[in-house]
Amino acid sequence: MIVNALEKIMEELLDEYIDQFHMECTCPTCRNDVLALVLNRVQPRYVTSEDKITYVRAEFFDRQQMTSLLVSLAECARIVSENPRCDNRKA
């Protein structure tokens, strides 16, 4: 088993802050596009067991690290919001 701990961390951040990003659409397609976009921009943190995700998460309790993740996430939410691939675009 290998997993990029940031997949889970970013997903949790998106859940927590999505309302504050004021995205045009928050459908699964748009959410996945934001996650894929941001995960391609930040340094991956692959681990070989679930409990190691907790260690990585703890590292990001550091305010500065968390802020940099949030800034990247907000930027990607803006990009997807302005260029949605889904068909839910408000007329």
The residues binding a second copy (CB under 8 A) are: 1-2, 4, 7, 29, 32-33, 35-37, 39-40, 43-48
**Are residues 47 and 2 in contact, defined by beta-carbon separation less than 8 angstroms?**
yes
Least distance from a second copy to the Cβ atom of residue 33, Å: 6
Positive/negative CA dihedral, 11, 19, 23, 29: positive
Kindly tell me which of 1 and 91 has the beta carbon lying closer to a second copy. Answer: 1
Rounded distance between C-alpha atoms, residue 25 and residue 84, angstroms: 8
Least distance from a second copy to the Cβ atom of residue 20, Å: 22
Kindly tell me which of 22 and 85 has the beta carbon lying closer to a second copy. Answer: 85
Q: Which residues contact 52 (CB under 8 A, 6 or more apart)?
A: 5
Least distance from a second copy to the Cβ atom of residue 22, Å: 22
